[in-house]
């Protein structure tokens, strides 16, 4: 029973790590989009 709980815990950690990565990528993309937007606004 302990082994099963450990495996589930490890799986949860992996899932969290993947979610962290995709969240960071999303934040970076939104930041980049905001920069593009403000740059085009300053041109016009």
pLDDT of residue 8: 84
What's the gap between Cα 7 and its chain centre? 23
pLDDT of residue 40: 80
Please give the Cα distance from 43 to 5 (Å, whole number): 57
Q: What is the DSSP letter of 1?
A: -
The count of C-alpha atoms lying within 13 angstroms of the C-alpha of 38, restricted to the half-sphere facing its C-beta, is: 6
* H-helix segments, 1-44: 2-43
pLDDT of residue 31: 94
Low-confidence spans in the chain with pLDDT less than 70: 1-2, 43-44
User: In the structure encoding, which two tokens stand for residue 43, read together?
Assistant: 């041109």
């Amino acid at each position: 029973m302990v082994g099963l709980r450990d495996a589930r815990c490890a799986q949860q950690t992996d899932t969290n790590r993947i979610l962290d990565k995709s969240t960071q990528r999303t934040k970076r993309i939104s930041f980049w989009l905001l920069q593009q937007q403000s740059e085009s606004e300053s041109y016009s």
